[in-house]
C-alpha cells in the first residue's frame, strides 16, 4: 500500500511540474532567495523518490532500473554545467570584454540554479520514474494534457482581445509571441502524434488548440520547425517510396503556396525580408554579427550567462544604430551556448545532442520500436530547427522542457510492473 500511495504522489508531483512550465515566473522568496514554483515541485518529486529509496520494499522491487545515466551522458552534463561555471569565473576577470556587474553576477548564479541544476534534476526524476512505472507514451500524454489548461486559457485571452501585440501577433501571458511559440511547439507535435496513433476526441481538440495558437503567434521560425518535425514524423512512420516522396513534396509546395497567398499583403511578411535595417531578418543578422564579434574577442570562455544584453549594447558603436535595444539572447541556440558557456559548453551541448540521436536510433531499431520515440525525435528536430533563429533553451520554462525530452530518450524501456502487482505475494 505504501508503494502504491507513494507512486501516486510522485505522479502528482510530475504533473505539477508539467502544469507550471508555462507559468515560469511564478515564485516566492525564501530566506532572501527566489524559489520558483517549478523548483519547489521538483524538490517535492526528489523527496518522494528519496522516501521510496529508504523503503526496503521499494529497493527489493527496483531490479532493472538504471540509476546512473550512460557514462557519456553523465560526463557531458558535468562538462556542460562546469563550462557555465567557468564562464562565470572568467567574466569576473579584468580582461573580460563585458565584466559582470553585481546584478549580472546574481543573475548568472540564478541561471545556473534555475536553468541547469533544477531542470537536470527533474530530468533525472523522469529518467528514474519512466523506467519502471510510467511508459514514455504515458508521460508524453500527461505532458500534453497538462498543457491543455494553458492552451484553453490562452485561447480565451485571444477571444477577449488580450495578449495581442501592436502588430496583431498573439503573445498570451508572455512578453513575446516567439516565446509563446517555443512553449507550444512540443505540445503541438505531441498532439499530432496522439492524433495519428490514438482515436480519441481529446487529441483532435488539443491539436486544434495548439496549432491555432501557433498560427496566431505569426512566428515563421515556429512554423518552419513544426513543419519539419511533422514531415520527419510522417516520413519515418511510412514506407519511403517515390510515391510518398512525391506526396510530401506536393504537400510542402502547396503549404508554401497557401502561405504566400495568405501573407501576400501582410505588412509583417513584406517587412520580414525587407532591406530595411529595421526589418525582422535584418535585426537577426545584426545580432548575429554582434555575437560573432563577441566570440572573436572571447572564444574560449564566452561572456558568461545572462550577460548578452549588456555586451550587445556595448558593441552597438561597431554597428549602425538599431531600434531594438532589448536583446537578451543572440537568437541562435548554438551561439547562445558558445557565448554564455564558452566553447566547452557548446561542444558539450553538441555532444549530448549527437549521443541522444544515436542512442534513440539504436533503441528504436534494436530494442523498442515505438512511435513515441519518433515523437521525441520530432520535438528535438523542431527545437534545433527553431534554434537556428531563436534560443529554445535559455529560458526558465524551456530548460526543463529540453531535459524532459532528453532524458526520455536515453534509456531502453524496462519491463514495468504496476505498484499493486509488485506487491503481490509480498507482506504489506
Q: How far apart are CA 194 and CA 192, in angstroms?
A: 6
Query: pLDDT at residue 406 above 80?
Result: yes
> What's the pLDDT score for residue 421?
46
> What's the pLDDT score for residue 60?
62
Q: Which long-range contacts does 227-231 make (Cβ < 8 Å, 24+ apart)? A: 227/252, 227/255, 228/381, 228/382, 228/385, 229/185, 229/189, 229/378, 229/379, 229/381, 229/382, 229/385, 230/189, 230/192, 230/378
Give the pLDDT confidence of 167-181 residue by residue, as tens digits: 889 999 988 899 999
Residue 263 is given by DSSP the state: T
Cell of 245: 516522396
Give the pLDDT confidence of 48-81 residue by residue, as tens digits: 888 877 776 666 665 566 778 888 999 999 999 9
Q: Which of 79-88, 259-268, 356-365: highest mean pLDDT?
A: 79-88
3-state DSSP assignment of residue 374: helix
Give the pLDDT confidence of 369-383 residue by residue, as tens digits: 578 888 999 999 999
Query: pLDDT at residue 142 above 90?
Result: yes
Q: Which residues are CB-neighbours of 262 under 8 A, at least 6 positions away?
A: none
Burial of 417 (C-beta count, 10 Å sphere; 0-12/13-18/19+): middle
Q: Note the residue count of the chain.
A: 428
Domain boundaries, the chain: 2-422
Query: pLDDT at residue 209 above 70?
Result: yes
Residue 125: half-sphere exposure toward Cβ, Cα within 13 Å? 29
> What's the pLDDT score for residue 419?
44
Q: Which residues are CB-neighbours of 16 under 8 A, at least 6 positions away?
A: 41, 44
Q: How far apart are CA 320 and CA 282, in angstroms?
A: 11
Asked if 147 and 18 touch (Cβ cutoff 8 Å), the reply is yes
Positive or negative, the CA dihedral 232, 237, 241, 246 is: negative
Amino acid at each position: 500500500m505504501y508503494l502504491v500511495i507513494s507512486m501516486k504522489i510522485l505522479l502528482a508531483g510530475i504533473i505539477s511540474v508539467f502544469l507550471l512550465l508555462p507559468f515560469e515566473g511564478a515564485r516566492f522568496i525564501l530566506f532572501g532567495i527566489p524559489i520558483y514554483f517549478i523548483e519547489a515541485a521538483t524538490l517535492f518529486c526528489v523527496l518522494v523518490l528519496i522516501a521510496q529509496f529508504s523503503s526496503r520494499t521499494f529497493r527489493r522491487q527496483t531490479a532493472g532500473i538504471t540509476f546512473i545515466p550512460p557514462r557519456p551522458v553523465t560526463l557531458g552534463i558535468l562538462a556542460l554545467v562546469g563550462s557555465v561555471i567557468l564562464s562565470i569565473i572568467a567574466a569576473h576577470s579584468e580582461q573580460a570584454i563585458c565584466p559582470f556587474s553585481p546584478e549580472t553576477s546574481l543573475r548568472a548564479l540564478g541561471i545556473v540554479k534555475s536553468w541547469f541544476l533544477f531542470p537536470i534534476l527533474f530530468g533525472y526524476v523522469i529518467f528514474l520514474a519512466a523506467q519502471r512505472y510510467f511508459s514514455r507514451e504515458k508521460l508524453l500524454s500527461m505532458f500534453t494534457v497538462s498543457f491543455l489548461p494553458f492552451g484553453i486559457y490562452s485561447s480565451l485571452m485571444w477571444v477577449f482581445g488580450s495578449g495581442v501585440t501592436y502588430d496583431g501577433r498573439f503573445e498570451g501571458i508572455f512578453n513575446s509571441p516567439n516565446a509563446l511559440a517555443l512553449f507550444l511547439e512540443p505540445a503541438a507535435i505531441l498532439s499530432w502524434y496522439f492524433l495519428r496513433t490514438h482515436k480519441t476526441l481529446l487529441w483532435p481538440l488539443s491539436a486544434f488548440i495548439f496549432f491555432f495558437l501557433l498560427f496566431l503567434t505569426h512566428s515563421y521560425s515556429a512554423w518552419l520547425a513544426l513543419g519539419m518535425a511533422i514531415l520527419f514524423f510522417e516520413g519515418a512512420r511510412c514506407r519511403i517510396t517515390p510515391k510518398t516522396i512525391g506526396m510530401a513534396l506536393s504537400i510542402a509546395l502547396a503549404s508554401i503556396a497557401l502561405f504566400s497567398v495568405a501573407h501576400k499583403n501582410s505588412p509583417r511578411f513584406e517587412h520580414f525580408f525587407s532591406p530595411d535595417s529595421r526589418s525582422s531578418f535584418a535585426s537577426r543578422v545584426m545580432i548575429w554579427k554582434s555575437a560573432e564579434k563577441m566570440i572573436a574577442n572571447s572564444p574560449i570562455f564566452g561572456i558568461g550567462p545572462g550577460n548578452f544584453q549588456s555586451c550587445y549594447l556595448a558593441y552597438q558603436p561597431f554597428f549602425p544604430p538599431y531600434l531594438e535595444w532589448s536583446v537578451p539572447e543572440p537568437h541562435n541556440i548554438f551561439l547562445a551556448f558558445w557565448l554564455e558557456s564558452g566553447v566547452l559548453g557548446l561542444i558539450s551541448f553538441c555532444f549530448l545532442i549527437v549521443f541522444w540521436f544515436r542512442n534513440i536510433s539504436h533503441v528504436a531499431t534494436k530494442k523498442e520500436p515505438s512511435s513515441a520515440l519518433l515523437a521525441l525525435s520530432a520535438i528535438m528536430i523542431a527545437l534545433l530547427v527553431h534554434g537556428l533563429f531563436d534560443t529554445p533553451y535559455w529560458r526558465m520554462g524551456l530548460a526543463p522542457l529540453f531535459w524532459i525530452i532528453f532524458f526520455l530518450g536515453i534509456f531502453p524501456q524496462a519491463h514495468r510492473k504496476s505498484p499493486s502487482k509488485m506487491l503481490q505475494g509480498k507482506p504489506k
